[in-house]
Amino acid sequence: MERIASTITRLFAGADKRDWRQVENTMDDKVLLDYTSMAGGTPTWLTPRQITDAWAAFLPGFDRTHHQLSDFEINETKDSSTAHCKGKAEHFIGKEIWVAEGTYDVTLRKKEGNWVVSQFKFTLKAQSGNTQLPAIATARMNSLQQQEQNRKVVDKFFTALETPQFELLKTIFAENGRQLNPYAPEGFPKSFDGSEAIYHQYSGLTANFGLMRFPRQIFATEDPNFFFVLFKGKIDINAGGTYENDYLGTFRLESGKITEYTEYFNQVVMAKAFGIKLD
């Protein structure tokens, strides 16, 4: 019976640590998951990965969680068992807390000598604290998901130049997207306006430049649509040699497209490399 209780305890400990592999290791190949007392709907057979994907899309929206189990009642046979226990789940964001209390009914079976969960039911008895925290946690996770998707778009900008796959620039910039060049010397455009103009600017570089490399660090901000990027440019010159400079780029996105990219660089290094006179 101790091993059965340990399996259930490890499941919740893994969820609190966001150790999804540990959670999955406590489960059968398919689990009948029943949260209908809290969320409605019907019980559903899910794989361990489907369950942890759902939990991973919600629980990290809280700063931390803590599950407490007590009063285990276990009925064990040779190859299957059932367990009933009380549960208290505490969810924290800042100084706020949301608490859900109820009971768990768990069915387990023996698999390769270990007990694994095959059915899992939570029955909600009471809630307390700030009941708006689940909605806040969901919004936080949505923002993080958007941020990660946008991070990939920003990274794809550099990949398009490095590969080179300049056609990608038309897909990652909004049609009316812009690149601003505030440090451009006299005679050079201060902006490239529109995805077509940006494409033509970079695809035209192949006449004078070869392989381009941009080692980079992408920094997210509180705004999931705004990023800073610190990067170095290492660009082979077709006539011989390599042009290197340090850059800072800011990216603003909307609906998954770059609407504005502003590029800053060391003007002195550029001027020396290409014989440009600075005012």
100-114: pLDDT as tens digits? 999 999 999 999 999
196-214: pLDDT as tens digits? 999 999 999 999 999 999 9
Domain 143-274 sits in CATH 3.30.450.40:
no
Beta-strand (E) ranges in 130-276?
173-180, 191-193, 209-213, 216-220, 226-237, 242-254, 257-265
Q: Which tokens belong to 79?
A: 């190859």
pTM: 0.81
Q: For residue 78, what pLDDT is reported? A: 84
2-131: CATH topology is: Nuclear Transport Factor 2; Chain: A, (3.10.450)
Residue 224 has pLDDT above 80, yes or no: yes
Structural domain boundaries in the chain: 2-131, 143-274
Q: 79-83, 108-112, 184-188, 215-219 — which is least confidently predicted?
A: 184-188
SS3 36: helix
| Gap between the terminal Cα atoms of the chain | 82
3-62: pLDDT as tens digits? 999 999 999 999 999 999 999 999 999 999 999 999 899 999 999 999 999 999 999 999
What single-letter amino acid sits at 18?
R
Long-range contacts of residues 101-104, Cβ cutoff 8 Å, at least 24 apart: 101/125, 101/126, 101/127, 101/128, 102/37, 102/126, 104/8, 104/69
How would you classify the pairing of strands 27-34 and 114-129? parallel
Rounded CA gap, 27 and 214, in Å? Answer: 44
The secondary structure of residue 255, as a DSSP letter, is T
Same CATH topology for 2-131 and 143-274: the answer is yes
Q: How confident is the model at residue 279 (pLDDT cuts 50, 70, 90)?
A: low
Phi-psi region of 95 (alpha: psi -120 to 50; beta: other; left: phi over 0): alpha
